[in-house]
Amino acid sequence: MSTDAAQPQLNWVFLGPPGVGKGTYATRAAKAFGIPHIATGDLIRAEIAAGTDMGKQMKAIVNSGKLLPDAMVQEVLQARLAKGRAEGERGFLLDGFPRTRAQAEQLVQSVDVGLVLNMSLREEVLVEKCMGRRLCRHCGKNYNIADIYLPASGGRPEIIMPPLSPPPECAPHLETRADDTEPVIRHRLEVYKREATPVEDFFRQRGLLVDFEITAGIPETLPYLMPLLQSYVGRRANEPPVKA
């Protein structure tokens, strides 16, 4: 496969806290725009599973819940991007990277980033959504039993998120992640805020950050998200962001 010169490069980044649905939206968007969804967490887990020397070093750090040193993440990410370029991929949708300002700087030095979508959701909803996550041990699918309704208040929009209910055959096999308890979720959100603020500031200063607040479920949100993303296709670096 070769890169079609008529097709614009799409180098996009999705940022967002745990529970916002970033992985799901990233998967849908990548598919719709014909670019790979590259999650550094997945690349790292694959390296660990392969049992390489680097994978062994990574395992200890990942299991402790800390971020990996930038050089290690860069190694797996750059290898993945190089493979994509060789195969004619027309860009990427990055998820889980950059996590630090240094990573953000390295990224913009090596590629023209066209868009950084900063997904957000009110904190009380994030907690409820994380607590409502269920995984079916049998079929491997993810569900969410949280049924969320928050009325509009203080200028903030109403939030309606119906549950993503498991079918009856999954009901006996549902599991909750060990780290999806309320104190652990609140801690993860604090850590995320600390990590993400310098990254958001970095991209905002460069006019690349587009804030996108989620106020509804996936089927209701996609009809807003997809046209927004479409408006960034072909946008060259350093052009002002299109108004959402």
Question: Which residues belong to the active site?
Answer: 22, 99, 133, 177, 188
Among 38, 73, 125, 199, binds ligand AMP (CB under 6 A): 73
CB nearer ligand AMP, residue 42 or residue 123: 42
Q: Going residue by residue from 84 to 123, which x/- string records binding to ligand AMP, judged by CB under 6 A? A: ------------xx-x---x--------------------
CB nearer ligand AMP, residue 38 or residue 127: 38
What beta strand segments (E) does the chain contain? 10-15, 37-39, 91-95, 115-120, 133-136, 142-144, 148-150, 159-161, 174-175, 209-213
Span of 24-32, 66-74, 163-171, 196-204 interacting with ligand AMP by CB under 6 A: 66-74
CB nearer ligand AMP, residue 12 or residue 241: 12
Count of chain residues binding ligand AMP (CB under 6 A)? 13
Distances (CA, A) of 103 to 66, 109, 137, 175, 182: 15, 10, 35, 34, 30
Residue nearest to ligand AMP (CB): 41
Residue 77 DSSP class = H
The candidate with the shortest Cα–Cα distance to 139, out of 167, 100, 160, is 167
- With a CB cutoff of 8 Å and minimum separation 6, the contacts of 159 are 121, 122, 125, 148, 149, 150, 215, 216
- Taking the CB of residue 123, how many other CB atoms lie within 10 A of it? 14
CB of 32 to ligand AMP, least distance (A): 22
**Interaction with ligand AMP in 142-181: which residues (CB under 6 A)?**
none
Binding of residue 68 to ligand AMP (CB under 6 A): yes
Helix, strand, coil in percent for the chain, rounding step 5: 45, 20, 35
Gap between the Cα atoms of 239 and 190, Å rounded = 33
Quote the longest CA-to-CA distance of the chain. Answer: 53
**Residue located via tokens 């970033």:** 22
**Interaction with ligand AMP in 27-56: which residues (CB under 6 A)?**
40-41, 44
Among 62, 108, 160, 237, binds ligand AMP (CB under 6 A): 62
Q: Is-cis flag, bond preceding 98, omega within 30? A: yes
CB nearer ligand AMP, residue 19 or residue 96: 96
CB nearer ligand AMP, residue 66 or residue 156: 66
CB of 199 to ligand AMP, least distance (A): 10
Among 8, 9, 55, 67, binds ligand AMP (CB under 6 A): 67
Binding of residue 135 to ligand AMP (CB under 6 A): no
* Contact between residue 116 and residue 36 where contact means Cβ atoms under 8 Å apart: no
Q: Which residues bind ligand AMP (CB under 6 A)?
A: 40-41, 44, 61-62, 66-68, 73, 96-97, 99, 103
